[in-house]
Amino acid sequence: ARITLRQLLDHAAEHGYGVPAFNINNMEQGLAIMEAAALVDAPVIIQASRGARSYANDIMLAKMIDALAEMYPDIPLCMHQDHGNDEATCATAIRYGFTSVMMDGSLKADAKTAADYQYNVDITRRVVDMAHWVGASVEGELGVLGSLEHGGGEQEDGHGVEGKVSREQLLTDPDQAVEFVRATKVDALAIAMGTSHGAYKFSRKPDGDVLAMKVVEEIHRRLPNTHLVMHGSSSVPQDLQDIFNEFGGAMPQTFGVPVEEIVRGIKHGVRKVNIDTDCRLAMTGVFRKVATQNKAEFDPRKFLKPAMDAMRDICKLRFEQFGTAGNA
Ligand code: G3H
Ligand code: 13P
Ligand code: NA
Ligand code: ZN
């Protein structure tokens, strides 16, 4: 059954668990997530980026979500727009049946100037008004995702920030978070604590200098009733890197966000945990393996079925680790 982000995260807060939000672009990823959820009785957040919507087509995506909901009537399902960049993206998502949208008004901000902040407040507030009129939820974002390890030299799109900004300018400021939630009335708030999108987050297992979980704790202390969201939360497991590289891949050694740090976040108000890279890596590692081990194979299903199974396994593991399992 369909559920909004607000309904789902209220339940998660009440019962002290977190919910992974997995990105989808195609049928196989949707099937993998729902199969995992059904195995462990977990509620689901499926999210689609703007890129996913243009890849799959809005009509195709909407009917796919309808189909998944019909196939798994007992699994609560929230369909969420990931990183909406303007009002139109959020409005059309809702029109296509999304029950939740992210209005990422921090996307345009290179650093935390007053004008950037006001732009973010204003556009997020407009989307909240619109979404709440029709019963959809809204996630906002404050702060700049990007590696502290690289001196803050990464923007969310992977491009460098002009002139590099300080650690304080990247991490979400707790005072500003309080003000932002009050001014926008968002249902959930994405915060920056040192993670970045994609596989290359850290060059070694992150410590408190580069992964600032203290910021999460401080914001939760100040905003105990706000659902917090962690982006860039793939763990980039070593075994998935190894499979990828064993079968002809050339992925430099990298480190993601340790699951125990996410679990610590969940103890401090983190309710939604965004994961895309781990699922991508699980699937494409299998593509490499099948292509390497059976060079005569040309039936796509022989690639896609085991890839789906690998994605199902990582989704199931995250449902168990985040305490989502058993809460459908
Ligand atoms: O926010 C990033 C997500 O991993 C979606 O990525 O824009 O390539 O679909 P994408
Ligand atoms: P990862 O690249 O760490 O999976 O993060 C995904 C994300 O934050 C989507 O919004
Ligand atoms: Na941001
Ligand atoms: Zn993100």
Give, for ligand 2, the residue of 89, 197, 262, 315 to mutate: max count of ligand atoms closer than 8 Å to Cβ: 197
Query: Is 327 among the domain residues?
Result: no
Query: Is 91 among the domain residues?
Result: yes
The pocket of ion ligand 4, defined by CB under 5 A, consists of: 231, 274
Query: Is 326 among the domain residues?
Result: no
* pLDDT number for residue 109: 66
For the chain, what is the domain count?
A: 1
Is a pLDDT exceeding 50 seen at residue 159? no
ipTM: 0.98
Query: Is 17 among the domain residues?
Result: yes
Q: How far is the CA of 145 from the centre of ligand 4 (A)?
A: 8
Give residue 164's domain range. Answer: 5-321
Beta-carbon contacts of 289 under 8 Å, excluding residues fewer than 6 positions away, are: 243, 246, 247, 306
Query: Is 227 among the domain residues?
Result: yes
Write the residue with the smallest CA distance to atom 1 of ligand 2: 232
Residue 216: CATH number of its domain: 3.20.20.70
- The binding site for dihydroxyacetone phosphate consists of 198, 232-234, 274-277
* pLDDT number for residue 158: 43
Query: Is 62 among the domain residues?
Result: yes
Q: What is the pLDDT of residues 113-140, one digit of tens each?
A: 889 999 999 999 999 999 999 999 999 9
* pLDDT number for residue 165: 67
Q: What is the pLDDT of residues 49-86, one digit of tens each?
A: 999 999 999 999 999 999 999 999 999 999 999 999 99
Q: How far is the CA of 109 from the centre of ligand 3 (A)?
A: 7
Average pLDDT over all residues of the chain:
94
* pLDDT number for residue 149: 80
Write the residue with the smallest CA distance to atom 8 of ligand 1: 51
* pLDDT number for residue 152: 55
Query: Is 303 among the domain residues?
Result: yes
Query: Is 328 among the domain residues?
Result: no
